[in-house]
Structure 1
Amino acid sequence: MRTIRREDVELLAPAGDWDCLRAAVANGADAVFFGVEKFNARARAHNFTMAELPDIMSFLHLYGVQGFLTFNILVFEEELNDAKQLIEACVDAGVDAVIVQDLGLVKMIREISPDFPIHGSTQMTITSPEAVEFTKPFDIERVVLGRENNLKQIKQIGDQAKLPMEVFVHGALCVSYSGQCLTSEMWGGRSANRGECAQACRLPYDLMVDGEQKPMGDVTYLLSPKDLAAIEIVPELIEAGVRSFKIEGRLKTPEYVANVVSKYRKAIDRYFDGLDARPSKEEVRELQQSFSRGFTVGFLQGTNNKQLVDGTFPKSRGVFVGRIKQILRDAVICELEAPLKRGDGLVFDAGDPTKKEEGGRIYDLRRKGEKLEGEAEGGLIEIVMGRNDVELGRLHVGDRIWKTNDPALDKRLRQTFETDKPYRTFPVSVKVTGVLGETLKSWWTDVKGGHTVFVQSELPLVQAEKRPMDEQLFTEQFGRLGGTIYELAELDVQLDGALIVPMRELNGMRRMAVELMEDERQKPRAYIKREVGVYDDVPVAVTEHHAAVTAVNAPTLSQADRSSVELTALCRSLDQVKAVLATTDVNLIYADFEFIKQFPAAVEAVHAAGRKIALVTPRIHMPGETGYFNNILKLKPDAVLIRNTGAAYYFLKHRFENPDAPQPQLIGDFSLNVANHKAADLFLAAGLSKVTPSYDLNIQQMVDLLRRAETSKLEVVIHQHMPMFHTEHCVYCTFLSEGTDFTNCGRPCEEKRVSLQDRVGMSHPVRVDEGCRNTVYNAIDQSGAEYLNHFMDLGIRSFRVEFLEETPEKVTEILDLYRKAIDGQISGTQVWRSLKATNQLGVTKGTLVK
């Protein structure tokens, strides 16, 4: 077993601006991730500009820190040229890696450069060894695992996939799997896959059980997780094979970056020094002070639904101080659970964060009426707030008190990076040789940087009459490296006789050596770069066809064209399957059931009717869950709907290993996040027969994709309830059970139907899959019926209608309307109007609206 070395473990820090970048470097980060302009998952951060890339990389490399650019969003078709420019700028600037979500972008990067490093973002939803294996043909050198993977799974993935594992260890948690959240897009047109998350998970919801509201007291933030803080389990993470500790926070302050990075730096270093790596109480409090909704280890130690969500508040609270014991004329009395001092900021929490909360700064602290100097650390304390800061009449005995700000801590943290001194120093080894009448020669080796520079004097060496140069003199002169990033670590002096040059020569040599060594450090990494066009991979026939479609405004489809268009149906119950078989001519039916035990009956019924059935994989695949895929194969479906890259790898590998056995058709679903023709081509080239475009595309973006893609191999979902949140956090287990996970929850999901009611009264169904993961579906189904003709003109010959809770009668009605629209008997608008008139909830154009 190979020993883990300190240099094998990377501490990776976020940077939203230059101050954050400096704070990360000053406090011990080994690498920094940052975004530029629009192509990153933090569109609201200040971000850097493309023009700053050379300066950023020069600064980071000067200090031996790597710089990773976040490109972790989906890229739409008409953005590919801009994306290409940014990738080329990264290659030129010597960026150490780019963190990517979009597999189409991965394809483009490899077309541009075969050796430019790519990291697979957590937005790729990589949660299993099979998903890692899927990325290997594209030479992705590192993957960022899903936040839902636990320590055992992380080790298993690392051991099987033999790739460095990067894991989030601190910061905000998404309740949904990264890359699988469509809520923000659905409700506000702000896509999480585009860096514009509106944080719908932080909103209040009412829990509806079988249509009735369940009383929850002050628990209303049912989907708002606490913040991740894995600092207590740093040793376990290292021993599980985590090689990069990633801190979330490109929207956070430089003080936050300085605070969190310094704490994890200490914990990692303590581990390798053989000391207790666990943080002190004071260190934990300081972490809470910078930002905290309450801390959790998330899923790292396994699923515990009771610990993930507090439910009483959705925003940062800081440090819990205590509760109000008594309210005086000018102060409140509290039994302190954390230190306080004058100037600290407090908020008083009455249990309803939607209402205005009282808060301000501490003016004075008293104990039994006597004024306290310095910090109060425990016991009953009278807290006097600043004049006019707090309306004491609005406070209550029992209200929680939180310390939201600590100016002294902020000042101390700022001092780490607001300094003229270098943030780090590096050892330098110097060799000096000299011969009478020749120049003084020196070789300066940057030990950590791994390079050597040669510097010689301008004047020749002369015979010394009084005090010849010796090792002590060189130590003194060449050791004057204060204000630089270097410190003299080793000196080898080899002079032939008693020799001397003027002192100014030694000073000049030292300055020149520092300049040359710094230049070496700051040189950009060199990569291969090819000149390729973004659309060089689009077949000429496709381009010509779509040019003709564009030239003729909406050509009339012949009846033969229309009759060749396939309508497919995705059913979530056996009754829906039977309705499709009994009343429609739909030939391909997808079975997407909550429980796999219902699959055999669906397969038998569909095959008995002479139709085809596709079984659907879960959206998430964890280590050890390939048994689900095995069961699908045993049932011999005609097709499999692939919802994750782990499943894609498994079924493609099975096909390769069993070339003579009958194989199901493999169709990629929306969750593969195909947003451009390159992503579609990548999955088709891998072996899928069809793919489904991402739900992130609006109508214009969809049309742009269809103009460049092989539309005969695309299936468009034309009607569905949008699957918004997809989460490991089980609402059923958390709020309807005494248990903590699937092993002890009693499976209330088999007896009850839960939905989440939002602020406008819409009730969004929550469904459970075989892996106990929850999907929250939008209450309103959406239709793209108005665009049917346009999509058919562009070559789409397969449209899918997805059902959720519809009755058999409703299934028949909806499919009949879409078949008539495809056949040209009614318009898409008539479908829309009919559904709006007959559907109790109405429908919305959803993400396909312009």
Structure 2
Amino acid sequence: MTNKAAVRREDIELLAPAGDWDCMRAAVANGADAIFFGVEKFNARARANNFRMEELPEIMAFLHRYGVRGFLTFNILVFEEELFGAKELVEACIDAGVDAVIVQDLGLVKMIREISPDFPIHGSTQMTITSPEAVEFTKPFGLERVVLGRENNLKQIQKIGEQAKLPMEVFVHGALCVSYSGQCLTSEMWGGRSANRGECAQACRLPYDLMVDGVQKPMGDIAYLLSPKDLAALDLMPELIEAGVTSFKIEGRLKSPEYVANVVSKYRRAIDKYFAGDESEPTTEEVRELQQSFSRGFTHGFLEGTNNKKLVEGTFPKSRGVYLGRVEKVLRDSIVCVLEAPLKRGDGLVFDAGDPTKKEEGGRVYDLRRSGSKLEGEVPEGERIEIVMGRNDVDLLRVHEGDRVWKTSDPALDRRLRSTFETEKPYRTFPLAVTVEGREGAPLRTIWTDVRKGTTVVVQSEMALERAERRPLGPEVLEEQLGRLGGSLFRLDQLTVALDGEVIVPKSELNRMRRDAVEQLDLMREQPPVYVKREADVYADAPASAAPQLAGGGKLTALCRTLEQVKAAVGTDVAMIYADFEFIKQFPDAIAVCREAGKPIALVTPRIHMPGENGYHRNILKLKPDAVLVRNTGALYFYLKERMEHPGEAHPTLIGDFSLNVANHKTIELFREAGLDWVTPSYDLNIQQMVDMLRRADTSRLELVIHQHMPMFHTEHCVYCTFMSEGTDYTNCGRPCEEHRASLQDRIGMSHPVRVDEGCRNTVYNAIEQSGAEYLQTFQELGVPSYRVEFLEEDADKVREVLSLYRAAMEGRISGTEVWRKLKAINQLGVTRGQLVK
């Protein structure tokens, strides 16, 4: 771990969420060093209240006044026709003095750098940065910091920091996405509400049945197979600080101001305790208060390594609050329970019968009784009591012995939390150093320094000092008058008096000078930082002329996930085979088949790149494929570095996959300039957005995926390990994935296959195939030269049939609509147009 002495308090930042003004005030009042917030467009919390762009100057003046930094979330993909609006928002951020923008889209990073060379950019967790190499890939673009993936553990975090040497931001509290951020396409697939666009529909919080080899596995009351508990790393703060984390991020722009006040105050205390040398653990009361504000159960997530059994509990998908115990007996107007946490009148309860898909009984506590006598105040844990509920709130006939009881709200706690920010007093004050100088016949000169900010103002009296007949000015009088700073942002910390002789000036003049100094220092705190801003043309980097039309032409490629599919595909006229196998040991057989058939072969990298995983990519290079389909920036950096360090050797063609999230022409340009030979657009684009991008882009090196099972979730959470083994991770799970095939059956009976990669990460694929056949002619006319068909579980006959349909469509022998009809006929579950028609 990092040397404690090397870590300075001023290097550590507590970063809080704000979905509205009350949340922002709550964060500032409870000790946040920085706030992240969004405006009405271009942020990953479209459902939050959000702020308006015109409020930016007011927001930043408020935050800077209190010495708090403000980061604007710009953490979504930006579509082609939105680039002008994005440019307008970036320029507004620069003018308002926003301290940084948090960005997902690398094309947006490129545009920001065209506008300003020094405006701070933070790489969002949506960039899927999980390795030192991924950090290195961002360095040419001048990112100030990166937000690591929530799947990185403490050892990996430290390794990334030591190797990449860029400030790291890490989530420490709040909701966990089961999918890697930036790699979830479920909402996009099912409802056209992309998580990469801030419109997540939370499909991970829905119930699923586990199907194993096509048979439903009995799971008891476990139905929420993809719904993680909430992250709570309060007790890991010392380890995180010593691992090199500089910014501790709290999730929750959709949460209440009480939640923000609660969580920020707890983590503020934990950080301050560390630097005070206090090694005590968080108290039971602190943890319960955190649970009370919001909790689906707490977990360390992946910070201490992968433990699949601890990540997902599976019996409920929403906040429960504090566990109170189980129902021992149901009486006429009450239930009997042995309390496992304190309880009082007015608290809210819910009774958990183990099936949250059905209506649950719950309401306010009317009274607490012991042996028939009313109990006043808060009853501590350990007491066996009667909890009286209102008959209009709760139908006790639907409450059963053994039901779990949860305290879902605590009005007294909420009132206390609101009092921290619903106040007329300043949320925090700053030390002033004041020097007083003067002599008889000259004005009194005062020098006021805002110690934290380092700004200084000089205020002189409007009259000369006179000789004092009695009670001359001295430290006591000056401290009393100049220290009357109540109601302001300041407190008098140091007073230096350098007066020549016994002199005097009216107290009213001292008061005026104090007010003048405070007003000036106030304004200086609100001054925005100044950044370079240049006039930039959004389309200066777009090609000057449209791409040549390729109607009737173009090449067809096939991505195969079994050796049977490879053997079938090499017998067709596809231009290249992609081998996307679960285990690297399966690659040599695919290469042998392709070499014998004279077909080029591309090997496919995993979606995620973690520290220490370059051995996988070295093995790919040893196999000497014709191309590599690269799925993340960490792996891309590795292959580009190999090219640069071995210039005389033959290197595979590098093709960037959909997971690089290319949604506009600028992102295409950035990756091509970085060294990618071919680029695959994101699956987030509908047909209009795709056409808009293709019209502005150099399409000569683009490959579109025209047919696939959409990869919806990509997750570190292993369904096989969690629910099909007794183990906790790959070291002790017994590898059920090598013997069985799992799928998740949704509420309408569709079974979505779950596949494992070399790193034991799971991908959940949509049950229904998606086809863009009807748009094939449009893409050809826009100059796209290459089209990929991706297979999942298809047999050899299906592979040949599907490829022949697309080849016929590309050559104009059948229409895209006819392809669609035939696919629909040969597929048991039909076929979908997916996100293209959203």
Quick one: distance in 1 between partners of 2:371 and 2:240? 47
Match of 1:753 in 2: 741
Quick one: distance in 2 between partners of 1:562 and 1:138? 38
Match of 2:625 in 1: 637
SS at match of 1:723: strand
Q: Which amino acid aligns with 1:479?
A: G
Q: 1:505 Cα deviation (Å)?
A: 1.0
Aligned mate of 2:434, from 430, 433, 438: 430
Is it true that 1:139 corresponds to 2:128 in the alignment? Answer: no
Match of 2:256 in 1: 253
Is it true that 1:580 corresponds to 2:583 in the alignment? Answer: no
Deviation string, structure 1 residues 162-182 (Cα, Å, up to 9, x no partner): 011110000000000000000
Quick one: distance in 2 between partners of 1:703 and 1:16? 34
Q: For 1:487-636, what aligned pairs fall within 5 Å after superposition?
A: 487-542=491-546, 561-562=550-551, 564-582=553-571, 584-636=572-624
Q: Which amino acid aligns with 2:92?
A: A
Q: 1:276 Cα deviation (Å)?
A: 2.2
Is it true that 1:828 corresponds to 2:816 in the alignment? Answer: yes
SS at match of 2:469: coil
Deviation string, structure 1 residues 546-600 (Cα, Å, up to 9, x no partner): 9xxxxxxxxxx6xxx4564110000001110110112x11121100000110101
SS at match of 2:420: helix
Q: 1:330 Cα deviation (Å)?
A: 1.6
SS at match of 1:181: coil
Match of 1:793 in 2: 781
5+ long unaligned stretches in structure 1: 547-556
Quick one: distance in 2 between partners of 1:252 and 1:198? 16
Match of 2:222 in 1: 219
Percent identity between matched residues is 75
SS at match of 2:36: strand
Aligned mate of 1:769, from 740, 757, 775: 757
SS at match of 1:140: coil
Q: Which TM-score applies when normalising by structure 2?
A: 0.99
Q: Which amino acid aligns with 1:755?
A: S
Q: Which amino acid aligns with 1:641?
A: L
Q: Which amino acid aligns with 1:540?
A: A
SS at match of 2:821: helix
Whether the 8 Å CA contact 1:125–1:146 is kept in 2: the answer is yes
Match of 1:554 in 2: none
Aligned mate of 2:344, from 341, 344, 351: 341
Q: 1:733 Cα deviation (Å)?
A: 0.3
Match of 2:400 in 1: 396
Is it true that 1:457 corresponds to 2:461 in the alignment? Answer: yes
SS at match of 1:242: coil
Q: Which amino acid aligns with 2:254?
A: L
Q: Which amino acid aligns with 1:575?
A: E
Match of 2:210 in 1: 207
Is it true that 1:442 corresponds to 2:431 in the alignment? Answer: no
SS at match of 1:417: coil
- Number of aligned pairs? 834
Whether the 8 Å CA contact 1:325–1:332 is kept in 2: the answer is yes
Is it true that 1:716 corresponds to 2:708 in the alignment? Answer: no
Q: Which amino acid aligns with 1:490?
A: Q
SS at match of 2:130: coil
Q: 1:7 Cα deviation (Å)?
A: 1.3
Whether the 8 Å CA contact 1:268–1:277 is kept in 2: the answer is no
Q: Which amino acid aligns with 1:6?
A: R
5+ long unaligned stretches in structure 2: none
Match of 2:36 in 1: 33
Aligned mate of 1:189, from 174, 189, 192: 192
Deviation string, structure 1 residues 452-473 (Cα, Å, up to 9, x no partner): 1111111111222222111111
Q: 1:278 Cα deviation (Å)?
A: 2.0
Aligned mate of 1:473, from 471, 474, 477: 477
Deviation string, structure 1 residues 303-340 (Cα, Å, up to 9, x no partner): 00000001000000000000000111121000000000
Q: Which amino acid aligns with 2:239?
A: E
Aligned mate of 1:289, from 289, 292, 297: 292
Deviation string, structure 1 residues 393-437 (Cα, Å, up to 9, x no partner): 111000000000000000000000000011101110001111222
Whether the 8 Å CA contact 2:333–2:391 is kept in 1: the answer is no
Quick one: distance in 2 between partners of 1:422 and 1:38? 31
Q: 1:703 Cα deviation (Å)?
A: 0.2
Whether the 8 Å CA contact 1:207–1:757 is kept in 2: the answer is yes
Whether the 8 Å CA contact 2:194–2:684 is kept in 1: the answer is yes
Quick one: distance in 2 between partners of 1:797 and 1:3? 55
Quick one: distance in 2 between partners of 1:674 and 1:625? 24
Q: Which amino acid aligns with 1:565?
A: G
Quick one: distance in 1 between partners of 2:153 and 2:595? 40
Quick one: distance in 1 between partners of 2:147 and 2:684? 22
SS at match of 1:541: coil
Quick one: distance in 1 between partners of 2:131 and 2:146? 11
Match of 1:553 in 2: none
Q: 1:370 Cα deviation (Å)?
A: 1.4
CA distance 1:212–1:48, shift in 2 (3 Å): same
SS at match of 1:764: strand
Q: Which amino acid aligns with 2:127?
A: M
Is it true that 1:655 corresponds to 2:658 in the alignment? Answer: no
Q: Which amino acid aligns with 1:785?
A: A
Match of 1:691 in 2: 679
Match of 1:109 in 2: 112
Whether the 8 Å CA contact 1:723–1:778 is kept in 2: the answer is yes
Quick one: distance in 2 between partners of 1:577 and 1:596? 15
Whether the 8 Å CA contact 1:234–1:278 is kept in 2: the answer is no
Deviation string, structure 1 residues 459-497 (Cα, Å, up to 9, x no partner): 111222222111111100000000011100101111111
Quick one: distance in 1 between partners of 2:398 and 2:575? 66
Q: Which amino acid aligns with 2:106?
A: L
Q: For 1:271-420, what aligned pairs fall within 5 Å after superposition?
A: 271-377=274-380, 378-420=382-424
Aligned mate of 1:731, from 719, 722, 725: 719
Q: Which amino acid aligns with 1:4?
A: V
Q: Which amino acid aligns with 1:790?
A: T
Cα RMSD for the two superposed structures: 0.9
Match of 2:173 in 1: 170
Match of 1:550 in 2: none
Q: Which TM-score applies when normalising by structure 1?
A: 0.97
